């Protein structure tokens, strides 16, 4: 059982280049998330998808776009990378039940992105 799989693990981009980070989960979870983690800033939500077919902005969406391709896959696209987007990006998934307490998040192992 792989859980949440992210690709690539490492990436170096030049300013202005574009790329897509891929994420897939095999736990049949409804909700998926993209976070970035930076020293001194902690985990910040970029975008989230409560269920297949829906996406919503998080705390820091500027410069990013997402696609919920199907229930398993949720991709994050940087159209024109900037040095401020140098970070570690994590994809996560969870069950979603509106009337229940927060379901735990299951994280992938991250993509380490450097923009020069």
Partner 1 sequence: TQLLEQSPQFLSIQEGENLTVYCNSSSVFSSLQWYRQEPGEGPVLLVTVVTGGEVKKLKRLTFQFGDARKDSSLHITAAQPGDTGLYLCAGGNAGNNRKLIWGLGTSLAVNP
Residue ranges in contact with partner 1 by CB under 8 A: 4, 31, 33, 40-45, 48, 50, 56, 58, 90, 92, 94, 96-110
64, β-bridge pairs = 78
Nearer to partner 1, 62 or 99 (CB): 99
Cβ 107 to partner 1 shortest distance, Å = 3
C-alpha to C-alpha distance for 24 and 5, rounded to whole angstroms: 5
Cβ 80 to partner 1 shortest distance, Å = 26
Distance between first and last Cα of the chain: 36
Nearer to partner 1, 64 or 90 (CB): 90
Nearer to partner 1, 85 or 90 (CB): 90
Cβ 7 to partner 1 shortest distance, Å = 14
Cβ 66 to partner 1 shortest distance, Å = 13
Nearer to partner 1, 14 or 98 (CB): 98
Name every residue whose Cβ is closer than 8 Å to that of residue 58 and which is 6 or more positions away in sequence. 33, 34, 44, 45, 46, 47, 48
C-alpha to C-alpha distance for 73 and 91, rounded to whole angstroms: 10
- Residue 71, helix vs strand vs coil: coil
């Amino acid at each position: 059982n792989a859980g949440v799989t992210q690709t690539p693990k490492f990436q170096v981009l030049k300013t202005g280049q574009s790329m897509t980070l891929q994420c897939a989960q095999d736990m049949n979870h409804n909700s998926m998330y993209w976070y970035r983690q930076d020293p001194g800033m902690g985990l910040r939500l970029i975008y989230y998808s409560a269920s297949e077919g829906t996406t919503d902005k998080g705390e820091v969406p500027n410069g990013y776009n997402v696609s919920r391709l199907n229930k398993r896959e949720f991709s994050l696209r940087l159209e024109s990378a900037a040095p401020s987007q140098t970070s570690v990006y994590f994809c996560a998934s969870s069950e979603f039940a509106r009337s229940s307490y927060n379901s735990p998040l299951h994280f992938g192992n991250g993509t380490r992105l450097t923009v020069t």
